[in-house]
Amino acid sequence: MLTNEFLRFLIAGGVAAGANFGSRFVFSMFLSYALAVFFAYLVGMLVAFILMRGHVFDAKNGRLGLQVIKFAGVNVVALLQTLIISLVLAHWVFPSSGITGEHAEALAHMIGVAVPVVTSYFGHKLLTFR
């Protein structure tokens, strides 16, 4: 059974993932795929921090600077997961299956964004917003 906190985390994460995923298309108009994924992740991270701090873990009274540092640390791990999965799928797995181009990149990025959900939840619950 999902706890209310984890459900709020999933909703906030979904909003942040949507910001991440959607902004990647804008960044892709100006940057390489890898850089677009990176900068889109930063957009999602900012949205996630605001929502997590205020609505998921109710940590508005915690030390902002320390929370930002811990949040960034947890998200560096998630960023690496996202970037590695997105690149491996888009450049090796999908092309070998006949899926190429923008569709491969979009699908790879969507999967890459979804993977770190569990690791991020526990990282933020146990470290960032304690």
Could you write out the DSSP letters of every residue in 49-68? HHHIIIIIS--TTS-HHHHH
98 Rama class: left (phi>0) / alpha (psi -120 to 50) / beta: left
How much is the mean pLDDT over the chain?
92
Look at the pTM and tell me if it is higher than 0.85. no
Angle between helical axes of 101-114 and 64-88 (0-180°, round to 10): 140
Give the pLDDT score at 3. 84
Would you say residue 113 has pLDDT above 90?
Answer: no
Would you say residue 1 has pLDDT above 80?
Answer: no
